[in-house]
Amino acid sequence: MTALSTESQGENQDTRLIPLSALQHFAFCPRQCALIHNEQAWAENYLTAQGKALHERVDSGEPETRKGVRFERAVHVSAEKLGISGVLDLVEVETKTGRLKPVEYKRGKPKPDPMDEIQLCAEGLCLEEMTGQTVSEGALWYMQTRHRVPITFSDDLRAQTLATIAAVRELLNSGQTPPPDYGKRCKACSLVEICQPELLGKRDRSVGYVAGFYTINN
């Protein structure tokens, strides 16, 4: 456990602390988020296996200092006010200023939507709550491109992250699983066999059609 680590508090008054990973799952697909965090469903595929191996390599490294930057790995964070907690892949600490920068490692490549940025920004918000200092930026490192992408925690990204936290909290507290919304992303999801989005999506549309038919004709 590193110098920045804290123990998870388990409960935040009337609600559990939301895992940071749930934010990325929700931004990818609310149904996937509910399946994993409400129904405790999980399945591995070659993509998740690659991601797991990558994080194990990153998290296993020892803290070290190079060129005025200390690298803290597998940093446990818990933000009671925000109601989120998790383990950060890497936190870079400038030795002269103490300035913090979270770095998240991802298996694939940069995505068109901001799911990775939201998770990273939430990591920054956790560090802010824990330390009292402003965390203005972080970075995403992608294994497929072997490229590091700097991310500024702008007002817009912060607002989007806070909105995602609120939406995930509402979803998890509801205990409900949204209906499937079949799309291209489903092909990369390890839960596709459990979710069955193509089959159940068609079934849901059929139920809606039948209900609408009887409403019109009554």
pLDDT digits (tens, 9 = 90+) for 20-48: 999 989 998 999 999 998 988 866 544 44
More confident residue, 208 or 193: 193
Confidence grade of residue 8 (pLDDT, cut at 50, 70, 90): very low
What is the residue-averaged pLDDT of the chain? 81
Query: What's this model's pTM, rounded to 2 decimal places?
Result: 0.76
pLDDT at 188: 78
d(CA 25, CA 119): 9
More confident residue, 57 or 182: 182
pLDDT at 55: 52
Give Cα 55 distance to the centre of its chain. 14
- Give Cβ neighbours of residue 76 (< 8 Å, ≥ 6 apart): 1, 2, 4, 5, 6, 7, 8, 85, 86, 87, 88
Strand partners, 138: 151
d(CA 26, CA 218): 39
- Radius of gyration of the chain measured on its C-alpha atoms: 19
The DSSP code for 112 is S
φ, ψ for residue 73 (rounded to 5)?
A: -110, 150
- Give Cβ neighbours of residue 21 (< 8 Å, ≥ 6 apart): 86, 119
Q: Identity (one letter) of the amino acid at 99?
A: R
The DSSP code for 134 is -
Overall average pLDDT of the 96-108 stretch: 93
Confidence grade of residue 51 (pLDDT, cut at 50, 70, 90): very low
Q: Identity (one letter) of the amino acid at 36?
A: I
d(CA 3, CA 147): 28
d(CA 48, CA 33): 15
d(CA 101, CA 138): 5
